[in-house]
Amino acid sequence: MAQFKVEGGVPLQGTIVPAGNKNEALPILAASLLTHESIQLSNIPRIGDVESMIEILRLCGAEIHRDNHHEITIQTEKILRTELPKKLCNKIRASVLFLAPILSRCGRVRIPFPGGDRIGRRRVDTHLLGLQALGAQFDVSDGFFHVWSPHRLKGADILLDEASVTATENLVMAASLAEGVTVLRNAASEPHVQQLCAFLNRLGAKISGVGSNVLTIEGVDQLRGGSHRIAADYLEVGSFIGLAAVTGGALWIKEAAPEYMRMILHQFSRFGVEVEIHGQDILVPANQEMKNKPDVNTSFVKIDDGPWPAFPADMMSIATVIATQAEGTVIVFEKMFESRLFFVDRLISMGANIILCDPHRCVVVGPTPLRRQVMSSPDIRAGMALLMAALCAKGTSIIQNVEQIDRGYERLDERLSALGAKILREE
C-alpha cells in the first residue's frame, strides 16, 4: 500500500500534457480480440486499469509487444480461453467488455462479476439483454456470467433500457461481426464510444450514426488489422483545470481536446473558473475570481450529471472540491451513483462546509479554508478530488490507498511535482 504526503498551499505553474483517455483505451483493448490481425495502438496511458486489461489479453492468447512507453502492438491469432479468472476481473470494471469479443469469435464466454470502483449499483442487465436480442443465451450463477450462442449472432433492433456506456460498447462490438443489420437505440454517445466506433470502422466495420443515440451497425464477416491513437483524456483535463483553480496557479494544458470540454468548461465557469482556448491547448489563468454565478432569480448554483453531452458523472467529485473554494452556495446532484458522494465526509473533516442531504445530493457553501488531514482514497475520481483538496489545504495531508488513483491517472505525483506541487509517494 502506498500513500501521498502532500503539503498544500502551493500554486501549480507550468505546462502539462494529458494522458490518453482511460475510458477509450479499455474498450479498444478488448476490441482487439475481434480480429486475428495485428493492431497498433498509440498514446496508451500507463495506468493500473490498462495494465490489468493487458494481462487479461495475454491470458486470452494475445501476443503484446511494447513499441515504446505508450505504444503497443497486439495480435491474437487464436483465443486460448473463454473463461476469465476472478482475481483479475474483480480488479477492474472494464473486464465486462470481454463479453462480446470472446463470444463473437468463440461462440461462448464465461466471465466473473466485474470489480472496479465501489460507487453504487452498477447493472449488467443491459449487456446481457442486448446480447440475448442478438441471439445469445446466458446464465448467471456462482458469481459468473456464462453467455453462449450455437450460431452466429444476428442483427436486431434493440432499445437499451439505459444509456450504458459499456453496454453500448459491448453491443457495438458484437453487432460488428453479427449477421445482418443491428440498430441500437438509446445508445451512449460519450467521446470514448465515438472513438471505439471510429476504431472499428477503421478495421472494416460499418457503423453509422456515431455521436448520436441511434447507432446502425451492418455486420461484416471479419475485421482486419489497423492502428489507432487514443485521444486525450478529457476527464484528466478537467481535473487539471480544477487543480489550477483551487491552488490559484496558472496551467497551460497542451493537446487538451477542447471539443470534448464544452459542458465541463460551461459548468466550471459557473464557479468563476474561466479558461482561454488556443487551438488544441487550454490556458488556465492564475488567481481565478472563484465566485459562483447563480441562475436567474436564484441565489445558488445547481450542478448535476447525466449521459453525454451532459456534465460527466466522473467530474462530480472534482466539481464538489471546486465548490468548496468558490464564494456562494452550490447544490450538487449526483444522479447516477448512490455512493459516489460519500467521500465528502473527508472534505468535511478538512473544514469544508458541506451538508450531505441524501446519497445523491449535497449542499456546499464556500469558500472555506481547508486544513490538513489523514484520509484514504475510496475510488479513482474521489482520490483525485481529495488530492486537489490536499493541495489547496493548509498543512501536510496524508492520502492513503493511492493505488486507486494510480488506476486512472498516470504517474500523477511525478507530473504534479514538475508543476511545483509538494507531493511525495511513500510505500
Taking CA atoms, 237 is separated from 15, 29, 254, 281, in Å, by 12, 22, 9, 10
Can you give the pTM of this predicted structure? 0.93
Nearest to 22 by CA among 384, 387, 420: 384
pLDDT of residue 119: 46
Per DSSP, 344 falls in state: H
Domain count, the chain: 2
Residues 197 and 283 grouped into a single domain: no
pLDDT of residue 122: 59
Q: Are 103 and 134 in contact (CB under 8 A)?
A: no
Residues 248 and 225 grouped into a single domain: no
Residues 41 and 172 grouped into a single domain: yes
Nearest to 388 by CA among 403, 378, 399: 399
Here the CATH number for the domain that contains residue 289 is: 3.65.10.10
User: Last residue of some domain: 229, 260, 279?
Assistant: 229
User: Last residue of some domain: 229, 263, 285?
Assistant: 229
Residues 87 and 166 grouped into a single domain: yes
Residues 116 and 253 grouped into a single domain: no
Q: Are 185 and 112 in contact (CB under 8 A)?
A: no
Per DSSP, 232 falls in state: B
User: Last residue of some domain: 229, 252, 287?
Assistant: 229
Per DSSP, 422 falls in state: E
Residues 85 and 217 grouped into a single domain: yes
Residues 62 and 100 grouped into a single domain: yes
Alpha helix (H) residue ranges in 32-178: 48-59, 86-89, 99-106, 125-133, 165-176
Q: Record the cell numbers describing residue 365, joined without a space.
A: 457553501
pLDDT of residue 116: 52
Give the chain's residues under pLDDT 70: 115-122
Residues near 114 by beta carbon (within 8 Å), at least 6 away in sequence: 89, 90, 92, 93, 94, 95, 96, 124
The per-residue pLDDT for range 229-259, each reduced to its tens digit, is 999 999 999 999 999 999 999 999 999 999 9
Q: What is the widest separation between alpha-carbon atoms in the chain?
A: 63
Nearest to 393 by CA among 376, 411, 368, 418: 368
Q: Which residues are catalytic?
A: 117
Residues 315 and 399 grouped into a single domain: yes
Q: Record the cell numbers describing residue 71, joined without a space.
A: 505504444
pLDDT of residue 120: 42
**Single-letter amino acid, residue 178:** A
Residues 165 and 245 grouped into a single domain: no
Residues 266 and 360 grouped into a single domain: yes
Residues 52 and 135 grouped into a single domain: yes
214-218 and 181-185 as β-strands: parallel, antiparallel, unpaired? antiparallel
Instruction: Report the distance separating Cα 404 and Cα 19, nearest Å.
Output: 17
Domain coverage including residue 324: 3-19+232-426
Residues 260 and 222 grouped into a single domain: no
